[in-house]
A and B are shown apart, each in its own frame.
Chain A
Amino acid sequence: GAGVSQSPSNKVTEKGKDVELRCDPISGHTALYWYRQSLGQGLEFLIYFQGNSAPDKSGLPSDRFSAERTGGSVSTLTIQRTQQEDSAVYLCASSFRQGKGYNEQFFGPGTRLTVL
């Protein structure tokens, strides 16, 4: 079956512009995560969606970052007024989540964002 897909694969933007990154999770997966990987760093949790529950936004670095998940499927991560420190690879993951334990997360290929 199809895995997690993300678009665009690469995005170059100028400082101050807004960008939207898209994630299509695996069909049927209830949970969706956004992470980012800055140069030389590990993956950093940004936000989590599960069904109709309120998202966990605890990892968003500033109020310039927002995300939504429409219809329990596709998710869009929006970064307003981009800054150079926002340059990173943004990764989306989905899982079929049950209970409070760990459920395997499947990652997309990521969107490489470069802010000039």
Chain B
Amino acid sequence: DQQVKQNSPSLSVQEGRISILNCDYTNSMFDYFLWYKKYPAEGPTFLISISSIKDKNEDGRFTVFLNKSAKHLSLHIVPSQPGDSAVYFCAASERSNTGKLIFGQGTTLQVKP
């Protein structure tokens, strides 16, 4: 039972354009959502997060949108840069004793110069 899904395994965009990565979830108890970025042979690094009480969070070129009614979140990167090329994981956390993360399968973003 995949509670967090990233249905697009890959995305290719031109440098300077917008990248939009999507994520769907099924568990209505999730109260915190995150995006992690992963380069080959490295661990994931935190990128941006959003609490379930908000619908938007912005940090520089990165914006995360949350649509709770649709159980959908998205990450917008504007403008996209070649250094943004990586695997992006959507993750969710349920308010609990552990804080464990439930991850999507990841989307490989390629930004072409």
Contacts and interface: CB of A to CB of B under 8 A. Distances in A.
A43 B95 contact: no
Contact of A97 (B6, B49, B99, B106): B99
Given A42-B106, A43-B44, A91-B43, A100 B95 contact: yes
A26 interface: no
Contacts of B29: none
Contact of B103 (A42, A50, A97): A42
Interface stretch (A11-19, A67-75, A79-87, A102-110): A102-110
B102 interface: yes
24 contacts: A31-B99, A33-B101, A35-B101, A40-B9, A40-B105, A42-B89, A42-B103, A43-B89, A43-B91, A44-B103, A56-B98, A56-B100, A59-B100, A91-B43, A91-B44, A100-B99, A101-B32, A101-B95, A102-B32, A102-B93, A109-B41, A109-B42, A109-B43, A110-B41
Interface in A25-49: 31, 33, 35, 40-45, 48
Contacts of A102: 31-32, 34, 49, 93, 99
A8 to B, nearest CB: 13
A44 B103 CA distance: 7
Interface string B74-113: 0000000000000001010101111111111110000000
B32 to A, nearest CB: 4
Interface residues of A, number: 29
A95 interface: yes
A45 B44 CA distance: 14
A4 interface: yes
Q: Most chain-B Cβ atoms within 10 A of its Cβ — which of A56, A102, A110?
A: A102
